[in-house]
Amino acid sequence: MISGQNGKFNDARPGCHAIVLCGGEGRRMGGRKELLEFNGEPLLLRLCRSLSGIAERITVVADRKREYAFLPDGVRAIADEVADFGPIAGICAGMRVSDLPLQLVVACDYPLAGSFVWRALADTLARYPEADAVLPEAGGKLHPLCALYRQRTIGAWADAMASGNRRVMAATQRMRLVKWLPGDQAADRLMNMNTPDDYRLAKERLRP
């Protein structure tokens, strides 16, 4: 696994499709995470707005077909291919509706990531054409659900689902990975939000 360093990043990338994962009922949170309010708007809308700066197309994948009336024009919502299978089913569903070469996968519990992270991932992967994906690493932890994959990885995801393997990191073991190291100041952008305390902390960090 190669380590990419922090640097200056360009704007939107041609050939990039964003997949926003909204599966799960948010039991630890006490409600659906994508509908949580951030600065007067649902988190899902905030994510889609941010992703529109880098992605040609955006697909929201939920655990069942859901209608999100607030989504911008051009953002589509689809259902997981296999109910209750977890993120791998969502990734497969998202990749199968777009054959664009870059697939930016973002779970809806990364409220702080934003355009800096998306562009950093794209620039890092561009420097390693042999790599299949770039995963951020912060606090000694890899973040496969806030990462950029090449479309050619769809076979690894499909094989994992066919074999009943729900572990995302296990599926990535078949891939040639690059790590993006955001640095101490940017590491907070990879905060993973699971509980009401996490939600309160994320809102504090996003205060205008």
Residues 6+ apart with CB under 8 A from 3: 137, 178, 179, 181
**Residue 80, annotated as binding a ligand:** yes
Block residue for tokens 């704007």: 11
Is 109 part of any known ligand binding site?
yes
Is 198 annotated as contributing to ligand binding?
no
Q: Is 179 annotated as a binding residue?
A: no
Burial 69-96 (b: 16+ CB within 10 A, else e): eebeeebebbbbbeeebbbbbbbbbbbe
23 is in an annotated binding site: yes
Q: Is 99 known as a binding-site position? A: no
**In this structure, what are the phi and psi dihedrals at residue 77, rounded to the nearest 5 degrees?**
-120, 130
Q: Please report, for residues 152, 155, 176, the alpha-carbon distance to residue 161 in angstroms, rounded to integers and kept in the order given.
A: 16, 10, 19
User: How many residues does the structure list for the chain?
Assistant: 208
Query: Could you tell me which residues are annotated as the binding site?
Result: 21-23, 33, 80, 109
**Residues making up the binding site for Mg(2+):** 109
Residues within the annotated binding site for GTP? Answer: 21-23, 33, 80, 109
